[in-house]
Amino acid sequence: MRRAERESFLKSFGVFFISLALLSGVLAYLEYFKLKHEIEEKIYNEMRICSYTLKCSEYQFDFVPLDSNSLYRLQESPIELFALFSIPKNDTYALKLSLGDEEYKTYLDSAKFTVLQHYFLGLIAIFIVSILFSFYALYPLKRALHLTEEFSRDILHDLGTPLSALRLNVSRLNVAHGDERKVKRISQSIDTIISLGDNLRSYLEEHEYQKDDIDLYLLIKDRILVFSKLYPNIKFSLNDEIFLLHVNRDAMVRIIDNLLSNAAKYNKPEGFVEVLIDLNKKVVQIKDSGRGILDTKRVFERFYKEQERGIGIGLHIVKKFCDELKITIEVESEISKGTLFILHFDKLMLH
Range from 45-49, 187-191, 225-229, 315-319 that averages highest in pLDDT: 45-49
**CA pair distance 197, 65, nearest whole angstrom:** 94
> CA separation (Å) from 114 to 32, 249, 329?
9, 58, 52
Write down the architecture of domain 210-344 according to CATH.
2-Layer Sandwich (3.30)
Three-state DSSP at 309 gives coil
Distance CA 339, CA 315 (A): 13
| pLDDT at residue 134, as a whole number | 87
The predicted model gives 137-146 an average pLDDT of: 77
pLDDT tens column, 83-139 = 999 888 888 899 999 999 899 899 999 999 999 999 999 999 999 999 998 888 888
Distance between CA atoms of 259 and 169, rounded to whole angstroms? 29
> Which position has the higher pLDDT, 201 or 333?
333
How much is the pLDDT for 58?
87
Residue 174 has pLDDT above 60, yes or no: no
Q: What is the pLDDT of residue 274?
A: 94
Transcribe 260-275 into DSSP letters. Answer: HHHHHHTPPTT-EEEE
Q: What is the pLDDT of residue 334?
A: 85
**In sequence order, what are the residues at sequence separation of 6 or more whose Cβ sits closer than 8 angstroms to the Cβ of residue 246?**
211, 212, 213, 348, 349, 350, 351
Sign, Cα dihedral of 54, 59, 65, 67: negative
Per-residue confidence band for 226, with pLDDT thresholds at 50, 70 and 90: confident
> Which among 188, 178, 187 is positioned nearest to 265, based on CA atoms?
188
pLDDT beyond 80 at 255: yes
pLDDT score of 239: 92
**pLDDT value at residue 312:** 62
Is residue 221 within 8 A of residue 238, CB to CB? The reply is yes
Domain ranges of the chain: 3-135, 210-344
Question: Which of 1-5, 155-159, 212-216 ranks highest by mean pLDDT?
Answer: 212-216
The answer to whether 132 and 118 have CB atoms below 8 angstroms apart is no
41 — pLDDT class (breaks 50, 70, 90): very high
pTM value? Answer: 0.51
C-alpha gyration radius of the chain = 38
